[in-house]
Amino acid sequence: MALNVDQTWVPRFHDQLLLTYQQQGSEIEKYLEPFMVHRDVKGAIDHFERLGNVIANDVIIPFGQTNILNPGHSRRAVTLQSSDAAVLISDENTLRAMVNPQDGYTRTIAYALGRRADKHIIDALLGNAQVATTTNGVLTYANQALPSARKLGTGIAITLTNIIAANESLSKAGAPSGAGQRVMLYSPGQLRDILAITQAASSDFTKNQIHDKGTIDELNWEGFTWEEIADVIKEDATTVLQRMLPLTGTSRACIAFHRGAVGLAVGREISTKIRERPDLNDSIQVRSVMMQEAVRVWEGGVVEIDVLEN
């Protein structure tokens, strides 16, 4: 065989476009109470009406004066936010390539909007809530931060102690408990410490067998449904495009919340349009849009746990 036969070797290409590892759509919205999600909202600002607690009176005198209760009324407001994701596909490029990226682009930008929806909810859980107040017929708005008493942890590894403390804090605020009622959002940077908790991993305490699965994601333990929320990472597996759960230094903010603690207003569901752009040499534009925003409705239904990020 000729020594330069390698000159006849040819590269092989494929017509399948592979998507980068990524979260495929919203992971958090499914945990919200259905009545806390307002759909088809028509307007710039939506409101969630709140009713305070009262306790019944004992009747001391059978024919005495009836004591009238006066539960407090208040409301939280949310200003809807439009989001979009769009890419262009030129026939100048597709005619020269084996790959037709249209389907891959469509799925990728839909996933991107799902992650943006999760970011809205995360920011609402931990950030300022918009409080709407009516005084003499005039509606005004102010911000309500998450109280410091709703924050636990000192940047140390997540432990059984601070998980129980978060659960206890929700209970003291009257947040309902039971299957599927409470959720814990954590990042992959807490996984090793969770796996190291004996009560989470040992069959003496739980049937979850998290070491067999390698994760606690979407499992129920210590009164919470656990949901792993990863940052948005570029295909180089190093560059961070978006921090999802806040990270300060080596301290990650995990979130314990009741599913009725946050409201979501949806003015437009995620929708995708694929159309030709005559103004751009007839390139194909793939564009997905949505309009929504979230607001924390009950401070008592949220606990921030600042723990070590490995």
Cβ atoms of 223 and 177 closer than 8 Å:
yes
Secondary structure class of 226 (helix, strand, coil)? strand
Mind listing the pLDDT tens digit for each residue in 191-236?
A: 999 999 999 998 889 889 899 999 999 999 999 999 999 999 888 8
Judged against a pLDDT cut of 80, whether residue 7 lies above it is answered with no
Distance CA 226, CA 239 (A): 26
What is the identity of the amino acid at 268? R
Mean pLDDT of all residues in the chain? 87
Place of tokens 């040499």: 281
Distance CA 62, CA 64 (A): 6
Cβ atoms of 266 and 75 closer than 8 Å:
no
Name the pLDDT band for 285 (thresholds 50, 70, 90).
confident
pLDDT in the model for residue 86: 86
145 or 98, higher pLDDT = 145
303 or 138, higher pLDDT = 303
Name which of 113, 174, 191 is nearest 299 in CA terms. 174
Judged against a pLDDT cut of 60, whether residue 11 lies above it is answered with no
Distance CA 67, CA 59 (A): 9
Distance CA 214, CA 193 (A): 12
CATH number for the domain running over 26-50+73-308: 3.90.1690
Name which of 226, 111, 215, 211 is nearest 166 in CA terms. 226
pLDDT in the model for residue 93: 58
Cβ atoms of 208 and 221 closer than 8 Å:
yes
Mind listing the pLDDT tens digit for each residue in 234-277?
A: 888 889 999 999 999 999 999 999 999 999 999 999 888 888 88
- Worst-scoring range by mean pLDDT, 81-95, 127-141, 274-288? 81-95
- The structure's pTM equals 0.86
Q: What percent of the chain has pLDDT over 70?
A: 88
pLDDT in the model for residue 22: 55
CA distances to 59, 109, 239, 263, 298 from 125, in Å: 41, 25, 26, 10, 9
What residue spans define the domains of the chain? 26-50+73-308
Cβ atoms of 237 and 20 closer than 8 Å:
no
